[in-house]
Structure 1
Amino acid sequence: MDACTLQELLDTLGEPMLRVLTAPAGLTARVSEVLLHDARDPFPRSAPGALLLMVGARAGDVGPLAHDAAAAGMAGLVVRDGDGQPDTVAAAKAHGLALLAVDEDAAWHHVHLLLASAIGSRPGPASSGAAVGDLFALANAVAAAVGGATVIEDARQRILAYSTVPGQVVDEARRQGILGRQVPSSPENTEQYRVLFAAPGPVRLAALDDELPRLAVAIRAGGETLGSVWVVGDGHIGPDAEDALTRGASTAALLLLRARASEELSRHLTSDLMRRLLDGTADPAGAAHRLGLAAGTPVRVAAFALDGTVSASDGEQTALRLLDLVRLQCEARYGRQACVLVDGSVYALLPAAGAGGSTRAEQRASGRGGERHERFAEDIVRRAGQALRVPVRAGLGDVVPDLAAVRGSRDDADLVLRVLGPDEDVAAVTEVRARVTLLRLRELIGEQRGLTAGAWREVLAHDAEHGTDYARTLVCWLDAGCDVARAAKLLAVHPNTCRYRLRHAQQHLRIDLDDPDERLVLWLQLRTLGGLRGADRA
């Protein structure tokens, strides 16, 4: 697992993004990960070295949260500027936790992504004045060489890293971009990017409104544009700035290509691990460590599939796009992803902390977790339908206690996809349990010759030969709890007609409808093997 010290985190991000309010264990304390926590969620039981983002926490929540965080082995808490009141600082000190503050304008999910990126980054050695380690170190090296605050962006204008060299000016537009990790969209910005990406080398761009001028260069590799490097021109840019910026862009290209290769390898390894989890051949303990899950974390499998009308030629590419979309949403929601495409379905492993508990509070938390998973799946289905222009459906398996039982949850999710009705997009197995059970019974009964024999065959044969409607009448009557009036309503006939059919079915086919065992077996066989359902005819 990646880790760094608090000091390294501060050196990487700097102010105003991050500052220390207290650090009882010193700045050499190790930080392993960053966790988003909503006060309504179950608290992690074990998260050694984690930083906890206190989303939505109130003043009265801090003491209990600090106690729980210390018990879980966490390194510290993160609050917004202004929330670090004396009581909050005192609570953190009392439990030996660091207390950090982030800019009050920063969105929590951006803070989470930025901290997670910084924790996983590593500075590398210097060469010719430019760092060749992580992107933050490179941004600082370029800023020192060129003489202006520097940011590194990807091809979608997302800010990947920024410099923290003391004394360098950052205007408000750049500050807001750093906080949001995205360059604001505007016609003027669009025109500047057009000019930049059309140029063969660095370009100097005039100031926009109250911004400072910029010096920028595209990051390219083999003709592909990977991103750009931007320097705020505050009048201190050195005479050899363009050469230094070009060298920085070259180094950035290597880093981005290396990151891409590393990401592809990581995804390949994660996909292979997911396949083995789904078929029950992976080592649960090793898989939990690889996926960053605490031992004994409850999980569930969500399965996403394209509508069956998609042609085979288009289906493969569309399924790969669906996989990318599910991965992106899982990374945004959980800070990690464990997704794989198998036989046309995309499977995602969703953590369900707090599910399956024995206390009432834990059970309520489990219910809320299930609702959140379903809303999450519904959101993915909606986004996928819009992006892919193809209907997508999702099935959620049961919550299982740990990774050793993932195969069962995957089987549940597959069955849900098979029993979804034409007007259903998303369902959890708990919502369609009866349909799933009948489907499994049909498969099990169909495999046993002795279980497929019985009066149900004679009923269907009689209807086919004589044009009667005994089978449907029997199913409606049994579905209605042997209530003739309700059965007649399902059949849209007079109750006397229903009684007549039932009486003649007993006489001609020698069915004893007074025997509860015979009624049960006949109903199961007609429903499962015959595929009849009275309510469908209502």
Structure 2
Amino acid sequence: MISHGIRLERVVSNLAGTLLEVVAGNIDQAALVTDVAIDEPREQAELQPGAVLLCTGADVEHLPGLIDRAVASQIPALVLRSPLNLPAELRATIERSGVVLLGLSAGATWTQLVVLLRSLLASSAGTEERVAGLQAEDTFALANAIGALLDAPITIEDRTSQVLAFSGRQDEADQARIEAILGRAVPQHNRQAQERAGVFKRLYSSEKPVFFDTPQILGAAGLPRVAIAIRAGNQVLGSIWVAVRNPLSPEKEQILVDAAKVVALQLLRDRVSSDVDRQVRADLIASALASGPAALGAIERLRLAQRTVAVLGLSLPGDTADESSSDQTRQQFLERTAQAFAFHLSVAAPGAVAALVGDVCYAIMPAMTRQGATNLLQMAQRVSKDFLDRTPNRAGGAVIGIGRSADSADPTELARSRNDVDRSMRVLKLGHGSRVALFTDLQMDALLLDIGDQLRNEGGLVDGPVARIRQYDSEHGTSLEEALELWLDSFGNALSASAALDLHRNTFRYRLRRAAQIAQINLNDPDERFAAMLEFRLSRRLRDVG
């Protein structure tokens, strides 16, 4: 029995859409999975509480007995092969039992499920020691093994043509392969050429290796490719690409088919491990920035105790889409951008941690020394700008806000810095002109938005001087509001304001006097001028926010 456990909800979340689907039952938020057991009808071995029971040979007619056994043994979930056509009465029985019935997706194997469940359980036991760990070594070893069996250089790529791993002997390939290895992704112009040639449509619709005349497709000298899709059930995870001079022999094609199954398992294990790792890191960062009782413990686990830090936040506009890949949803693009930002920070700012919390990628960046925060905010701004400049397609319009520096030993300061970040990103999303900014540079803009929120809560602006002019203009077809606003924006310079409106200065001065009469304000009073300027600014903000 495995002594540690992981929430059933997390298991389903990680494997849903790839291997598992919820067929019936409600997931208890507190239910823990502690082991994986395979049903042996003949032996009826004793089951450990908390085990997920894999019913490899069972069907719908076996479910009543299996449900009774699960309830008696405190089994949180059963897994049967999908599809399952449940009668309404049986479905109701499952709902009442508290057991969750899961279906193993078509095309997925029981072996894959067992390995991934055990990997997930093992990962849950070791997450505290792996806050920012990555697992790439096994995938590279696998790539080398496949390359040796095929006697050719290979790459393992995801669905967006990012290079996940590659074998040795890449110098025997061609320039296109070298560019892909160096950039850890197939160059954009090459991928577009492949898309135009229907390469991915052919690749993903075939379960066998496909030969591609790459030099003809790319219009450049090089070697052809043989590729095969990597599948887990009905989901395509990526592909293996082999640089060859001639089509593979039937024996080597079978090696590649078998290799794709092994790689699928490895990618799923890496995905589960990475998902758990990212979730733990996200939970720790959220706790650290929440000013709650768990904040100091989270800071300790993030190895940021007794440090001067800055909080950063990356967010995307609401309408962002990944134009380079039509099958990428906004959430997938956000996750990918957050992962890239986290990796960039780990290299550019050692000790920094980042994770997606909700729809914002928050990061905590420590000062380079424990003695002080000299240039910390400037470094955060520089590193953030560098990320956006280096990211393909400029990260889909992402904005990055940077809060004030904080003492990590004071949860209140950290929470305040996070609030700075949220307010900064809101200003930046409204078109501040920059995509990276310090809160200190945006505080007045943020304050105007806060005042606007208060006004909306109170039912909007009451009828002040600007409202009176606007009403007069609407009724008489005049443009007094424009004249007054431009005069205020010009710091009272009538010549500059009249030139901007292409009016004679005397005509402009008449409009200004008339505007002051209608608005009932004294333009010689600095307080009244300021009040009018503030009303204009708030009116604009209210329109911008909608």
TM-score by length of 1: 0.50
